[in-house]
Amino acid sequence: MDLIKHISIVITLIITLILPVAFIALLYKKDKKTLIWSIIGILTFFIVQIAIRIPILNYLSLKPWFIVNISSKTYVYAIFLALTAALVEEGGRFLSFKFILKDHITWLKGIAFGIGHGGIEAFYLVGLPFIKAYYSFLNGNLNLFSNITVENIILSGFERVLAIIIHIGLSLIVLYSVKKKKYKNLLYAFIIHTLVNLPILIINSEIFIWTYIIIWSVILLNVTFKYKKKMKEVF
């Protein structure tokens, strides 16, 4: 493996491991209470996805009725995956804000939660697999990275940055809905989350996927700053 590919792997690991931690540390300097929000964000993703949804999906994938009626049908399975991801993640955010992080709400704390949630997802989906693969490569599996390009390695890290931006925006929508008891905002977050995931699972076009993700990240970045004003006025 050439030097450029080594460097690209290191850059991606920095993006998916060090960058979220750095932002959490930056927020901690501004408000020490943001740390617990980041930790709860991490735990929320771990519980709803890693501990609950993914094991259930693995269990269902072995059931004949599920294979015949859902997983073997591309569009049905895509809808199922998108809906269940939105349900558990937005539901997890709602429960965390409603019953655990219900006091002294601020805009920065909502961002901290989103970074924790999106950061652990980046580690689980990209950082951890890259660490395992790179370790195997260093221990003799020389063909491991032969079929992956430098571009794809870097883009996998960049995609996680966009995903974290989306998680921050969704976190603030749900946080505001809980504090102001405007539960239609929770529905908005669920719909947005579903819409973000669904076309990506169906349409096999890199140009479309990247354009689509970038558009949603820009939209939710604007939402993030919109809620800064709203939360400053209300809280």
The owner of tokens 């804000």 is 97
The one-character DSSP state at 124 is I
Full-model pTM: 0.93
pLDDT tens for the chain, 235 residues: list them.
678 888 898 899 999 999 999 999 999 999 999 999 999 999 999 999 999 999 999 999 999 999 999 999 999 999 999 999 999 999 999 999 999 998 788 999 999 999 999 999 999 999 998 888 888 877 777 676 777 888 888 999 999 999 999 999 999 999 999 988 888 999 999 999 999 999 999 999 999 999 999 999 999 999 999 998 887 754 4
Q: Give the burial string for 190-213 (b: 16+ CB within 10 Å, else e).
A: bebbbebbbebbeeeeeeeeeebb
Nearest Cα residue to 49 out of 77, 73, 80, 84: 84
